[in-house]
Amino acid sequence: MTLIPVIMSGGSGSRLWPQSRSLYPKQFLPLVNEQTMLQNTITRLDGIEGVSAPLVVANEEHRFLVAEQFRQMGREALAIILEPVGRNTAPAVALAALKAQSASPEKEPLLLVLAADHAIQNVEAFHQAVEAALPAARDGKLVTFGIVPTHPETGYGYIKASKELIGHSEQVALVEQFVEKPDHDKAKAYLASGDYYWNSGMFLFKASRYLEELKQYRPDILDACEKAMTVQDADLDFVRLDVAAFEACPDESIDYAVMENTSDAVVVPLDAGWSDVGSWTSLADISEQDDLGNSSLGDVLLEDTRNTYVRSEKKLIATVGVDDLIITESDDAILVAHKSRVQDVKKIVERLKTENRPEVKLHRKVYRPWGAYDSIDMGDRFQVKRITVKPGAQLSLQMHHHRAEHWIVVKGTALVTNGDQQILLTENQSTYIPIGTVHRLENPGKFDLEMIEVQSGGYLGEDDIVRFEDTYGRA
């Protein structure tokens, strides 16, 4: 049987603000090492026998981030399924199962369902758990991976394993019960009993078995997903769904829809240094620490500091005489929080949403399918951006009603459409684009094009773009 990884990449990671933003969430960030969380999830599959290229289920707004991270690794996804709206994990896995069946020659693939934003320190132990789960999955069981708990955690749901093991392996037990997040006393009791595992949200099962169980317990979800996939539109590496059909789909988790109802749920223990990296403290817990319990990244000086996590991306951060803090700096924001209050970071995010502030959605540096731009200065009636265009890439053919632009090439070669002219510009050359003039920027070279854009006008918002043609389907 073909083993198809399904990577769920729809989260927003609001508790990891200011690094994580709604349009650039934590799965696309290098939080644990030099690779992003998504890239770590992809790399973690290396060495599993018979594994195929992964299916990714992602928010439509993140489509180019997913594609770019595969491109950086020199890899390809089996498909990137784009959800026009979030409907939780049960529909997302159903979409993946339907796509996997159509993509697999034997029409009976196994799905290894993973989150894009989890950390696993012991990859070999992860592989061993997957190997242990395979026979049960081939026999039609729905396998969930239970994390061996290390402390009485109140932030996770738990899985109670039955004393009854099934014949495939001493590691595979029937699931007796899924339980909600407990209070501290219950969590201590769960830990002491040895019968409970943290619910990881990772699964292994046949695509057909999942769809059968979904049809039995939540036929409304399956029906909506089948309708959404019936009119799917292939666009580059992406699979677009029928928007109306998927919007009508109920919002439900895979646990509530299937796993808590099926009689074929089994659990395999996973003891591999797992973390869902759900907060700054959980990231601090898996980060390297000094003798005083501090973790630091970037340009950091610590003086008389204990049990503190400090992350610098641009500026020097110095601490003196502080304990138990989270201090993290991004290109446009700084967060200082006590470790005991990191769950309340989401309250800051909610305030940013209420005030319609840009820091909730994007960083100062914004990634686009053609490259990126960084807003390096802004004032009354002007804005300055540093723009990078990848080799062979081009921006849309566009115009603006409210701003003029002056482009100066810093590095590389630019092919510019400026009204009815096409101009080739090299380093230190420039062009001026008046308000209302149709224009386009292309990089015909083999190296990154770097340029400075100076905008001037009465309104400089990103929504003042009229696209006439676009390589990336945004016209």
User: Residues 333, 404: one domain?
Assistant: no
Which one, of 57, 95, 23, 66, lies nearest residue 246 by Cα?
Answer: 95
User: Residues 325, 372: one domain?
Assistant: no
User: Residues 321, 379: one domain?
Assistant: no
The Cβ-side half-sphere exposure at 444, using a 13 Å CA radius, reads 11
Residue 475 has pLDDT above 70, yes or no: no
Query: What is the predicted pLDDT for the residue at 108?
Result: 86
Strand pairing class (142-147; 265-270): parallel
Residue 331 has pLDDT above 80, yes or no: yes
Residue where a domain terminates, one of 232, 251, 275: 275
Show the domain range for 175: 3-275
Rounded Cα distance, 97 and 210, in Å: 8
Total number of domains constituting the chain: 3
In tens, the pLDDT along 290-325 reads 999 999 999 999 999 999 999 999 899 999 999 999
User: Residues 103, 200: one domain?
Assistant: yes
Average confidence score pLDDT of the chain: 94
Domain-located, residue 247: yes
Domain-located, residue 143: yes
Residue where a domain terminates, one of 221, 250, 275: 275
Query: What is the predicted pLDDT for the residue at 366?
Result: 87
Query: What is the pLDDT averaged over residues 253-260?
Result: 96
- Higher-confidence residue of 1 and 79: namely 79
Residue 273 has pLDDT above 60, yes or no: yes
% of the chain with per-residue pLDDT over 70: 97
Tokens linked to 147: 């994390």
Domain-located, residue 187: yes
User: Residues 142, 128: one domain?
Assistant: yes
Q: Report which residue type is found at 97.
A: A
Domain-located, residue 394: yes
Q: Report which residue type is found at 242.
A: D
Rg value, the chain, Cα = 25
Query: What is the predicted pLDDT for the residue at 25?
Result: 95
Residue 27 has pLDDT above 60, yes or no: yes
Q: Residue 161's domain is classified under what CATH number?
A: 3.90.550.10
Query: What is the pLDDT averaged over residues 360-382?
Result: 91
User: Residues 198, 163: one domain?
Assistant: yes
Query: What is the pLDDT averaged over residues 212-224?
Result: 97
Q: At 268, phi and psi to the nearest 5?
A: -115, 125
Rounded Cα distance, 405 and 454, in Å: 6
Domain-located, residue 192: yes
Residue where a domain terminates, one of 275, 298, 332: 275
- Structure confidence at residue 472 as a pLDDT band (50, 70, 90): confident
Query: What is the pLDDT averaged over residues 325-331?
Result: 96
Domain-located, residue 355: no
Q: What's the pTM value of the predicted model, to 2 decimals?
A: 0.90
Domain-located, residue 356: no
User: Residues 118, 185: one domain?
Assistant: yes
Question: Residue 201, exposed/middle/buried by CB under 10 A (0-12, 13-18, 19+)?
Answer: buried
User: Residues 179, 202: one domain?
Assistant: yes
Residue 209 has pLDDT above 80, yes or no: yes
In tens, the pLDDT along 425-463 reads 999 999 999 999 999 999 999 999 999 999 999 999 889
Query: What is the predicted pLDDT for the residue at 104?
Result: 75
Domain-located, residue 196: yes
Rounded Cα distance, 125 and 469, in Å: 49
Contact 254, 90 (CB under 8 A): yes
Query: What is the predicted pLDDT for the residue at 232?
Result: 63
Residue 13 has pLDDT above 90, yes or no: no
Query: What is the predicted pLDDT for the residue at 251?
Result: 96
User: Residues 267, 334: one domain?
Assistant: no
Which one, of 413, 444, 418, 416, lies nearest residue 428 by Cα?
Answer: 413
Q: At 351, phi and psi to the nearest 5?
A: -65, -40
